[in-house]
Amino acid sequence: MTAKPLIQARDLRVSFQLPAQGALPWARPRLLHAVGGVDFTLMPGETLGIVGESGSGKSTLARALIGLVPATGQAIWQDGTDLIGLSARRMLKYRSQIQMVFQDPLASLNPRMTVGQIIAEPLTTHHKGLGRDEVKVRVKDMMDRVGLLPNQINRYPHEFSGGQCQRIGIARALIVQPKLVICDEPVSALDVSIQAQVINLLDELQRDLGLALIFIAHDLSVVKHISDRVLVMYLGRVMELAESQALYAEPRHPYTQALLSAVPIPDPQLERDKRMIPLRGELPSPMSPPSGCVFRTRCPRAEALCASERPALGSGAHLTACHFPGALRPEELAIKA
């Protein structure tokens, strides 16, 4: 495929300033590096899954892309514009192209607005010329499309179930016909059966509308189901980025292997024989990330080189940020575990 990438992130960084507790107002604030230099490209119509444990910077990355948190680095849109650091006025044009679906279905809907008003909001923001009736027709079409009864347009969010609320969220994101939808853990708050419905809906809409998706989750099996490529994050950095099939079949980074080994297998026999890769300790503080490879403090294979030098992501189809990639050997697990 020689098409231009839809969005291309280069060295994307997000840091938050934390004023130290009890410090004087002019003291230098401490920096928290939530995202520390992320590179990826996304083709039109592609789905990129982002996985990683809590606090690894997945959601912050998403918020940086739509300009909700200030970031540095570059995120080049299809037409060559860098989205990072655009003024609010110039960003407005791209806001209709990039939409977001949020984690908590109910919390992401204003409780005082009707479903119709909620879904219509992006439309009235970006297409000011539309008449009332036209807006209503489009909202009803979109409700029908995401599997909501269009006659419920005047109901309020609290009258819907979690899955329906998430459908409302999806309808709101799609009404302006975006090219990229960022889904920030869209199914983590839902029951498993509803999860499947919502994911299938997203899958179907993506195929029909040619959307690109960035799908953030901590549920690896969900990501495997929906993604073309998967990006594994740890402490704000990319650990591994590969085609979904390749990554799940043959994970190279020790962190990815540990993450995948924690996925339960719905077969008691296999589950019993499975070898878990235990990770000890906690995620290090992003205030003072470890030198070199950020994962080295918990890696069963860490050596002196890992502390001194930061591994590069490299190039190719299967990218791994590790000095010693490859499957972990049983003796390595035995020593460290």
Partner 1 sequence: MIDARQMQSLAARLAQPEVKGRSPWADARRRFRRNKAAMVSLVVLILVGLFALLGSQLAAWSNEEMDFSIMGQAALLGAPSWENGHYFGTDDLGRDLFSRTVQGTQVSLMVGLIGAGIAVVVGTLYGATAGYVGGRTDAVMMRMVDVLMSIPYMFVLILLLVIFGRSMSMLFLGIGLISWLDMSRIVRGQTLSLKNREFIEAARATGVPAWRIILRHIVPNLMGVVAVYATLLVPLMILSESFISFLGLGLQEPLTSWGALISEGAGTMNYGTLWQLAFPLFFFCITLFAFFFVGDGLRDALDPKDR
At 101, which helix (H) or strand (E)?
A: strand 98-101
Burial class (CB in 10 A: 0-12, 13-18, 19+), 285: exposed
Cβ 99 to partner 1 shortest distance, Å: 7
Q: Residue 106 or 201: which CB sits closer to partner 1?
A: 106
Q: Does 125 bind partner 1 (CB under 8 A)?
A: yes
Q: Does 114 bind partner 1 (CB under 8 A)?
A: yes
CA contacts within 13 A on the Cβ side of 151: 0
Residues in 45-104 that interact with partner 1 by CB under 8 A: 63, 66-68, 88, 91-92, 95-96, 99-100, 102-104
Which segment (109-117, 273-281, 302-310, 314-322) binds partner 1 by CB under 8 A? 109-117
Cβ 123 to partner 1 shortest distance, Å: 10
Cβ 218 to partner 1 shortest distance, Å: 18
Which of 38, 75, 83, 109 contacts partner 1 by CB under 8 A?
109
CA dist 202 and 326 (Å) reads 34
CA contacts within 13 A on the Cβ side of 206: 22
Cβ 209 to partner 1 shortest distance, Å: 18
Q: Residue 108 or 195: which CB sits closer to partner 1?
A: 108
Residues forming a β-bridge with 242: 230
Cβ 186 to partner 1 shortest distance, Å: 12
Which of 145, 172, 296, 298 contacts partner 1 by CB under 8 A?
172
Q: Does 122 bind partner 1 (CB under 8 A)?
A: yes
Q: Residue 13 or 126: which CB sits closer to partner 1?
A: 126
In whole angstroms, what separates CA 309 from the centre of its chain? 27
Which residue in this structure is represented by tokens 């819907």?
A: 160
Identity of the amino acid at 80: G
Q: Residue 152 or 297: which CB sits closer to partner 1?
A: 152
DSSP labels for 252-281? -SHHHHHHHHTS--S-HHHHHHPPP----S
Q: Does 197 bind partner 1 (CB under 8 A)?
A: no
Cβ 216 to partner 1 shortest distance, Å: 14
Q: Does 108 bind partner 1 (CB under 8 A)?
A: yes
Burial class (CB in 10 A: 0-12, 13-18, 19+), 155: middle
Q: Residue 39 or 104: which CB sits closer to partner 1?
A: 104
For partner 1, what does the binding mask look like between residues 139 and 158, x meaning CB under 8 A? ----------x-xxxxxx-x
3-state secondary structure of 99: strand
Q: Does 137 bind partner 1 (CB under 8 A)?
A: no
CA dist 243 and 229 (Å) reads 4
Is residue 322 within 8 Å of 306, Cβ to Cβ? no
3-state secondary structure of 239: strand
Is residue 323 within 8 Å of 293, Cβ to Cβ? yes
Q: Footprint of partner 1 on this chain (CB under 8 A)?
A: 63, 66-68, 88, 91-92, 95-96, 99-100, 102-104, 107-115, 121-122, 125-126, 149, 151-156, 158-159, 169, 172, 176
